[in-house]
């Protein structure tokens, strides 16, 4: 959730109504109005609660045409009936909602039309990129200049290899259209030509409960950030998001 004094947006709706409200209550948020719901792709952990959220908030839905087609296949019929406003968006085409200018950009992931977002409001940039198999040069360009960067750090490669998943699933996760490993994120964070180091917050997100550990993700990132040249040192805060509890609000 992103908000200014006048505008509130939600990115993805993987959780149901009850759990969403419980997590908002845990951070003392009582949300009665949302100006837009944005969906990155149709995988169920990003859209499962969407019909309930559309019914509760009556907010416009912002989604690419490819993802919308996929949502109609994976979600129940109630999804289409609860859409009160629909705005089709495209990677590479910026749009505005209230105080926010939003720039969607394509990411490599095994979904119909996956995108990530950069949000601009009140002189601040927030970039959110989860579910991508590779940090391509265009993705790195879109992440630069973010005051808050939310980036996937999905798995520890060795932990995934010896874990319980079938080998085909492991290959998918490790592929260029799967998910970022701690090692891939560390290489990015260490490289000044990739990560500019200017963020006030770097949030590592989308950690697998089976194939990662918050301690390993943090350690890997901290070691990488410590290797940056002193003149381009990261002086912000490194945070780890978890699946089972909300993070406190971040003010920018």
Q: What is the mean pLDDT of residues 141-161?
A: 98
Q: Are residues 146 and 223 in the same domain?
A: yes
Structural element, H or E, at residue 141: helix 137-143
Q: What is the mean pLDDT of residues 204-231?
A: 97
Distance between CA atoms of residues 49 and 162, nearest Å: 32
Q: Are residues 75 and 175 in the same domain?
A: no
Q: Is pLDDT of 123 > 90?
A: yes
Q: Is pLDDT of 29 > 90?
A: no
pTM of this structure:
0.96
Distance between CA atoms of residues 249 and 78, nearest Å: 31
Q: What is the mean pLDDT of residues 7-36?
A: 94
Q: Is pLDDT of 239 > 90?
A: yes
Count other Cβ atoms within 10 Å, centred on residue 198. Answer: 15
The residues that bridge with 2 in the sheet, in sequence order, are 9
Q: Judge whether 208 lies within some domain.
A: yes
Q: What is the mean pLDDT of residues 68-81?
A: 96
Sign of the dihedral defined by the CA atoms of residues 163, 202, 115, 62, in that order? positive
Residue 30: pLDDT band (50, 70, 90) is confident
CATH number at residue 27: 3.60.15.10
Q: Is pLDDT of 191 > 90?
A: yes
Q: How many domains does the chain have?
A: 2
Q: What is the mean pLDDT of the chain?
A: 97
Q: Judge whether 118 lies within some domain.
A: no
Q: Are residues 128 and 234 in the same domain?
A: yes
**Residue where one domain finishes, among candidates 33, 67, 102:** 102
Q: Judge whether 252 lies within some domain.
A: no
CA angle 169, 115, 5 (to 5 degrees): 125
pLDDT at 63 (0 to 100): 98
Q: Judge whether 231 lies within some domain.
A: yes
Residue 55: pLDDT band (50, 70, 90) is very high
Q: Judge whether 233 lies within some domain.
A: yes
Structural element, H or E, at residue 199: none
Q: Are residues 41 and 131 in the same domain?
A: no
Q: Are 199 and 128 in contact (CB under 8 A)?
A: no
Q: Is pLDDT of 34 > 90?
A: yes
Q: Are residues 174 and 92 in the same domain?
A: no
Domain range for 238: 123-243
- Rounded to a whole number of angstroms, the distance between the first and last alpha carbons of the chain is 13
Q: Is pLDDT of 195 > 90?
A: yes
Q: Is pLDDT of 203 > 90?
A: yes
Q: Are residues 39 and 138 in the same domain?
A: no
Q: Judge whether 249 lies within some domain.
A: no
pLDDT at 214 (0 to 100): 97
The single residue listed with the structure tokens 């499962």 is 48
Q: Judge whether 248 lies within some domain.
A: no
Q: Are residues 92 and 134 in the same domain?
A: no
88: Cβ contacts below 8 Å, ≥ 6 apart: 63, 64, 65, 68
Sign of the dihedral defined by the CA atoms of residues 49, 54, 59, 62, in that order? positive
Q: Judge whether 251 lies within some domain.
A: no
Q: What is the mean pLDDT of residues 172-185?
A: 98
**Residue where one domain finishes, among candidates 102, 134, 168:** 102
Q: What is the mean pLDDT of residues 56-63?
A: 97
Residue 94: pLDDT band (50, 70, 90) is very high
Structural element, H or E, at residue 64: strand 61-64
- Helix 214-226, helix 182-190: angle, nearest 10: 20
pLDDT at 87 (0 to 100): 98
């Amino acid at each position: 959730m992103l908000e200014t004094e006048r505008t509130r947006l939600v990115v993805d709706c993987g959780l149901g109504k009850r759990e969403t409200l419980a997590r908002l209550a845990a951070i003392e948020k009582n949300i009665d109005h949302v100006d837009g719901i944005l969906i990155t792709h149709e995988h169920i952990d990003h859209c499962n609660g969407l019909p309930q959220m559309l019914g509760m908030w009556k907010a416009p839905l912002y989604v690419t045409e490819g993802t919308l087609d996929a949502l109609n296949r994976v979600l129940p019929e109630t999804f289409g009936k609860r859409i009160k406003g629909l705005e089709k968006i495209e990677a590479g085409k910026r749009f505005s909602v209230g105080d926010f200018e939003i720039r969607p950009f394509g990411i490599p992931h095994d979904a119909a039309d996956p995108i990530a977002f950069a949000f601009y409001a009140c002189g601040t940039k927030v970039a959110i990129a989860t579910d991508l198999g590779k940090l391509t040069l265009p993705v790195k360009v879109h992440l630069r200049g973010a005051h808050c960067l939310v980036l996937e750090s999905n798995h520890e490669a060795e932990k995934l290899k010896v874990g319980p998943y079938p080998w085909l699933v492991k290959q998918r996760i490790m592929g260029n259209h799967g998910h970022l490993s701690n090692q891939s994120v560390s290489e990015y964070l260490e490289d000044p030509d990739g990560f500019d180091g200017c963020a006030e917050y770097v949030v590592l997100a989308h950690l697998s409960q089976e194939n990662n550990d918050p301690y390993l993700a943090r350690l890997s990132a901290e070691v990488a950030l410590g290797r940056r040249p002193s003149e381009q040192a990261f002086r912000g805060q490194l945070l780890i998001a978890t699946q089972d509890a909300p993070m406190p609000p971040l003010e920018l």
